Structure 1
Amino acid sequence: MHFPSRRLGVTAVAVALTMITAGCSIGSDSAGGGGKKLTFTSYGSGYQEAQAKAWLTPWAKAEGVTAVQDQPTDYAKIKTMVESKRVSWDVVDTEPFFPVGACGKYAEKLDFDKIDKSKFPEGTVSDCAVPDAMYSLALVYDPKKYPDAKPTSVADFFDTKKFPGKRLAPGFATGGAIEAALVGDGVTPDKLYPLDYDRAFKKLDTLGDNLSFWDTSAQSQQALESKQADMALVWSGRAYMAAKNGSVYEPVWQDNMLAYAVLMVPKGAPNKDRAMDFIAYATSAEPQAAFAEDQPYAAVNSDAEPKLDSLAESWNTARPDIQDKGFYQNVDWWAKNQDQATERWTDWATG
C-alpha cells in the first residue's frame, strides 16, 4: 500500500523474507518442530532495521523465539489472509486508521493485561492497536528567505503577501494538508472534525501556482536539501534528517499535527499470545528509547529516556512544549472516512 510508505518515509521494496535466528531452529509452533516463532511485518528500509535492532532481536533472543520479518505492510494482504484463514503475520506496524477501522474484523483485540497502556500518550490507544513511534507534520521555513518577520504558525503558510515564495505540502488526503488548510483558515483544532472539504480546498486554492506537493516523505526530504521551497509542511523526522544533511530550514511548532504509527495483530494470527508479549516489550521504556536513538521518531512510552544529541532533541516531538502547541490527527474520524476523503482529495487535485 502506498499511503503508509508516504507516512513513515520509507520506500516500499519488493517483498523479501529475512530470517533472524534467535537461539533456536526455524519452525512454527504448528509445524511439528516444536520451535517458537513470531513473524513481524513493517515498511522495510532503515525504519524496520531499527525496529528489529531495538525490539525484535533482543526480545526473540531472551524468549528463545525464531523471529521472521516480512515487508512491506499491505492492508489488502492482511484482508486476504484473514478472509482465507491463512494468516502468516503475527505483528504488523501500520497507520492507526486501519486497525481502528478494522478492529475485531481484521485486527485482534489486544491483551492489556500484558500491555501497559498507561504509559502511552492520551488518546493514542485503541482496542486493537497501540502506538510504537510518534512524529509530527510541522511547518518549516528557510530563514534566509524571511530574514525579518518570520512565520509563527500554520496560518503564515497561507499568507503569500507577508511571506511570498514557493510552498510544499503532502499530496495525499491523509497527509495533513486538509487539516493545515482549515487551521490556517481559522478553525481551531477542537473544531476540525468532521473535515470541511470545501473550505479546505478553497484555502489551498489561494496558494495557486505557489503550491506543489510531495508524494513520498523521501521526496520532501530531498526537496528541503535542494531548497526547492521557501516554506513546507513535512514530517518532523524527514525535516530532522534533512537538517542532519545540512539543510537550513527551521521549524514552527505552533499548530503542528501530531501523528503516530501503531502495532496491531491480524485477526487469526498463528502466534497471537506471543504477539501480545512482543508488543508489550517493544513499547516498553528501554526498547522505545533505543529505537528513538536510532530513528527520527519520538518514543511513545512516557518512561523512555532516549539519549539524543542537541539536533535530534530539537526535533523530538515527545517534548512537552511541542506537544502543547500541537494537536493529534483524529484517528477515529479517519478510520471511518478515509475512502471518502481520498475520493474528495483526488477530485480536487485532478479537477
Structure 2
Amino acid sequence: MDMRRRRRMLVAGALTVVALATTACASGEAAPTSSDDPAEVSGQIVWADYGGPTNEAFQEVFFAPFTEETGVEVVATTLAASVQYQMLEGEKGDYDTMMTGMAEVVLYSDNLVALPASVPRSDQLSADVAEYAIATPIIGYAQGYLASTFPGSGPQTWADFWDTETYPGKRAVPGEYSDFMFEAALLADGVAPDDLYPLDLDRATAKLDELKPDMVFYTEYPQVQQLLSAGGASVAFAPNGQFAALKNAGLDVTVSWDQALVEANPFVVPSRAKNPSATFALAEFLAEPELQAEFSRRTNYGPSSSAAFEYLSDDEIAALPNAPEHTEIIWADADNRAELYDEMSDRYTEWLTS
C-alpha cells in the first residue's frame, strides 16, 4: 500500500475513533471498531516514557486508534534510565522507542535509526535532531504559581524568581536532575538571552547558592502540583505540563513565559530496537497535525509541526510553549548542552549534596 495513502487512511480512522470513543464514554456505549484493512505491520511496539497524564494523552489520542487500524499494540512502560542509556550506547534493551532530550540525540545519533522518507520531519527542531525524532512534545521549563499566592502581580522573570523579598515563599526546583536550572540562574544573574550559551557553570552555581536556603526540592514532577496546591512552595520551576495539570484540576495558575527555557523531548528509535517497521508506521501517525493539535489541547505541550496550530483556538495556542506569540522564550542549545552533558550532571549533583 502507498505510504501516503496509508497515512491518510490511518489519520482519518484515528480522528473517527477518538471522536466516537469520546461520544461513547459520554453515552455509556462501546465505541464501534473500524472495518478498514490494517496497515502492513505486525507485532507490538514497546514505548518508554515517564507515564502520568502525558502518557494517557498519547494512549488516547494516538495509540488506541493506531491499534484499531493496524492491529499493532503499543505497550507503554515506565522509562528506566539504565535501559535508556544502554540502548543509547548501542546495546540491547527492551524499548522500540523511548523519550530522550535533544542533547542525547546529538550525543548518541550513531546509535539511533533515522526516520524513513515517509515520515515528515518536525519543522520546530534543528535538522540534526528532527532526523531522529518520531514524536516530539515541546516542553516549556517555566515558573508557575497559584494566582491566589500573588493576588496583584507575581514573579515574571528569573530575577523575580530569585527575589524572595518582593515575592516571598519557597521555590520548588528539581532535586535530582538539573533540567534547566543553570540557564535560569544565569538569566537571573543578568546574562542576556543571546549570551546564555555557552553556559558558564561556575557563575550559574554561585547564583544557585544564593537561593538555596529558600529552595524545596522535588524528585518527581507530580510533586510540583502537591507543593503548590498545599502551600509547600509559592513558586515552582517545572515543565509547563505540571501547571496544566493544576489548571485541569480547577486551580487558577499563572505561568510566566518570559525567558522560559524551551526544549523538545524527542522519542527516538534505538539501533537495537526489535520492531522498527511498526514503530515508523506509528511515527507517520504521530506526525499528523490534527492529532498533534488534540494532544497539545490535552497536555499544553507544544506540537512538533507548526501546521497543528491551524487546528487550535487562539486561547489553546496561547497555553503552549512554542506559541508564535511567545517571542520571549529561549530555545535550549542542544549542541552546547551536549558538550557539557556529563559536567552539568556532575556539577548539579555535587551542588545538591554540598
- Where on the TM-score scale, by shorter chain, does this alignment land: which range? 0.7 to 0.9
Task: Give 1:72's match in structure 2, choosing from 73, 78, 91.
Answer: 78
> SS where residue 113 of structure 2 aligns?
coil
Task: Give 1:215's match in structure 2, choosing from 213, 219, 222.
Answer: 219
Does the 8 Å CA contact 1:92/1:265 hold for their aligned counterparts? yes
Does the 8 Å CA contact 1:288/1:299 hold for their aligned counterparts? yes
Map 1:86-97; keep pairs closer than 5 Å: 86=92, 88-97=94-103
Let me know the Cα RMSD of the aligned residues: 3.0
Looking at structure 1, the residues matched to 338 and 96 of structure 2 have their Cα atoms a distance apart, in angstroms, of 22
TM-score normalised by structure 1 residue count? 0.78
Looking at structure 2, the residues matched to 82 and 211 of structure 1 have their Cα atoms a distance apart, in angstroms, of 33
- In the alignment, what sits opposite 2:347? 344
> SS where residue 115 of structure 2 aligns?
coil
Tell whether 2:333 aligns with 1:327. Answer: no
| Aligned residue type for 2:114 | K
- In the alignment, what sits opposite 1:55? 62
Tell whether 2:157 aligns with 1:153. Answer: yes
**Which stretches in structure 1 are left out of the alignment for 5+ residues?**
1-20, 25-33
Does the 8 Å CA contact 1:100/1:128 hold for their aligned counterparts? no
Looking at structure 2, the residues matched to 84 and 350 of structure 1 have their Cα atoms a distance apart, in angstroms, of 32
Looking at structure 2, the residues matched to 224 and 266 of structure 1 have their Cα atoms a distance apart, in angstroms, of 37
Structure 1 pair 87–156 and aligned structure 2 pair: CA distance change class (3 A)? closer
Structure 1 pair 76–336 and aligned structure 2 pair: CA distance change class (3 A)? farther
| Aligned residue type for 1:55 | F
- In the alignment, what sits opposite 1:6? none
Map 1:242-257; keep pairs closer than 5 Å: 242-257=246-261
| Aligned residue type for 2:68 | K
Looking at structure 2, the residues matched to 71 and 271 of structure 1 have their Cα atoms a distance apart, in angstroms, of 16
> SS where residue 300 of structure 2 aligns?
coil
The alignment-based identity, stated in percent, is 26
Q: What is the Cα deviation at residue 219 of structure 1?
A: 0.5
Structure 1 pair 193–146 and aligned structure 2 pair: CA distance change class (3 A)? same
Looking at structure 1, the residues matched to 205 and 259 of structure 2 have their Cα atoms a distance apart, in angstroms, of 19
Tell whether 2:106 aligns with 1:100. Answer: yes
Q: What is the Cα deviation at residue 68 of structure 1?
A: 3.8
Looking at structure 2, the residues matched to 315 and 188 of structure 1 have their Cα atoms a distance apart, in angstroms, of 25
Looking at structure 2, the residues matched to 74 and 259 of structure 1 have their Cα atoms a distance apart, in angstroms, of 21
Question: Which segment drifts farther, 146-155 or 219-228?
Answer: 146-155
Map 1:262-273; keep pairs closer than 5 Å: 262-273=266-277
Question: What count of residue pairs does the alignment treat as equivalent?
Answer: 316
Looking at structure 2, the residues matched to 79 and 139 of structure 1 have their Cα atoms a distance apart, in angstroms, of 29
Tell whether 2:233 aligns with 1:226. Answer: no
> SS where residue 340 of structure 2 aligns?
helix
> SS where residue 104 of structure 1 aligns?
helix
Q: What is the Cα deviation at residue 91 of structure 1?
A: 2.6
- In the alignment, what sits opposite 1:292? 296
Structure 1 pair 309–245 and aligned structure 2 pair: CA distance change class (3 A)? farther
Structure 1 pair 22–149 and aligned structure 2 pair: CA distance change class (3 A)? closer
| Cα offsets for 1:71-93 (capped at 9, x unmatched) | 12235325556889755533323
Task: Give 2:42's match in structure 1, choosing from 18, 36, 50.
Answer: 36
> SS where residue 83 of structure 2 aligns?
helix
Structure 1 pair 251–50 and aligned structure 2 pair: CA distance change class (3 A)? closer
Question: Which segment drifts farther, 185-194 or 270-279?
Answer: 270-279
Structure 1 pair 60–165 and aligned structure 2 pair: CA distance change class (3 A)? closer
- In the alignment, what sits opposite 1:110? 115
Does the 8 Å CA contact 1:108/1:267 hold for their aligned counterparts? yes
Does the 8 Å CA contact 2:41/2:281 hold for their aligned counterparts? no
